């Protein structure tokens, strides 16, 4: 009985710790969602052509002076906000990973720092899985693209290359929300990839004059060592 109480107490403490870590990020997601919904309402009010195309993807553009001016101001504020959101969500993903890692390994001494990184192998796996899932979504369900084309569209979109040669055609609100969520999660994963790639390149450049420590520096990026990724 005492052991069950101790286990329950540990689970409760872990849950409270997870909520405390997630709460600021959830608030930021809520605020950005309000910003996006507000922008959608204003665009529909200012431009009748946008109001007439509620579910279109990649084909909605402001066509009058009022909506174009609002687009400039809205983008000026919104794009940095979105990049900040993706970065913070990536940090939340990293912290969640290491919390799960500690829970699976029964590590009670876990202390997360602000500099918390995902292992590079895990990020690569997430990118591959995300692209494959996108291929299934756009091949089977939403737009019935050829499977390879669907994977290509997914990867081009989350890397923000966006040639504009492919535009899915969502039929309803559910399809539109799925596309938004799917591409947003992809951007979060890619932000982690860009960060780790930058770290690897920087450490390689820093150690060119000291090849004896180059392998040790690279291990900090490529390994699953909790001391390197969690911090003190």
Cα 124 to the chain's mean position, in Å? Answer: 13
The pLDDT value recorded for residue 227 is 45
The reply to whether the predicted model has a pTM over 0.85 is: no
Answer whether 76's CB lies under 8 Å from 66's CB: no
**Six token digits for residue 210:** 């000291």
Answer whether 179's CB lies under 8 Å from 170's CB: yes
- Helix, strand, coil abundance in the chain, percent, nearest 5: 75, 0, 25
Cα dist from 2 to 7, 108, 143, 181, whole Å:
9, 19, 56, 44
The pLDDT value recorded for residue 20 is 65
Cα four-point dihedral sign 170, 37, 188, 195: positive
Q: What are phi and psi of 143, to 5 degrees?
A: -125, -5
CB atoms within 10 A of CB 85: 22
- Residue 53 region, left (φ>0) first, then alpha (ψ -120 to 50), else beta? beta
Q: How far apart are CA 149 and CA 92, in angstroms?
A: 31
Q: How far apart are CA 111 and CA 180, in angstroms?
A: 33
pLDDT tens track, the chain, 232 positions: 444 444 445 555 555 555 666 777 778 888 888 988 898 889 888 888 776 666 566 667 888 899 899 999 999 998 888 888 887 788 788 877 877 777 777 665 555 555 567 888 888 898 899 988 988 888 887 778 888 888 898 888 888 787 777 877 777 778 888 888 888 888 888 888 888 887 777 776 766 656 555 566 555 555 544 444 444 4
| DSSP letter (8 states) at residue 78 | H
Cα four-point dihedral sign 49, 53, 54, 55: negative
Q: How far apart are CA 134 and CA 80, in angstroms?
A: 26
- Residue with token string 């899915």: 168
- Residue 160 region, left (φ>0) first, then alpha (ψ -120 to 50), else beta? left
The pLDDT value recorded for residue 85 is 83
Answer whether 191's CB lies under 8 Å from 123's CB: no
């Amino acid at each position: 009985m005492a052991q069950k109480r101790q286990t329950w107490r540990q689970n409760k403490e872990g849950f409270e710790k997870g909520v405390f870590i997630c709460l600021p990020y959830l608030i930021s997601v809520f605020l950005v969602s309000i910003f996006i919904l507000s922008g959608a309402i204003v665009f529909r009010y200012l431009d009748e052509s946008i109001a007439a195309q509620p579910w279109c993807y990649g084909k909605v553009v402001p066509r009058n002076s009022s909506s174009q001016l609002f687009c400039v101001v809205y983008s000026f504020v919104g794009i940095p906000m979105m990049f900040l959101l993706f970065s913070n969500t990536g940090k939340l993903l990293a912290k969640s990973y290491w919390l799960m890692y500690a829970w699976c390994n029964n590590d009670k001494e876990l202390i997360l720092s602000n500099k918390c990184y995902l292992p590079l192998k895990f990020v690569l796996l997430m990118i591959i899985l995300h692209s494959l899932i996108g291929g299934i979504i756009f091949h089977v369900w939403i737009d019935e693209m050829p499977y390879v084309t669907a994977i290509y569209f997914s990867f081009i979109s989350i890397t923000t290359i966006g040639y504009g040669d492919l535009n899915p055609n969502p039929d309803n609100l559910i399809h539109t929300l799925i596309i938004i969520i799917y591409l947003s999660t992809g951007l979060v994963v890619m932000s982690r990839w860009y960060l780790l790639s930058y770290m690897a390149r920087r450490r390689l450049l820093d150690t060119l004059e000291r090849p004896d420590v180059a392998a040790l520096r690279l291990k900090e990026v490529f390994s699953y060592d909790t001391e390197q990724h969690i911090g003190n």
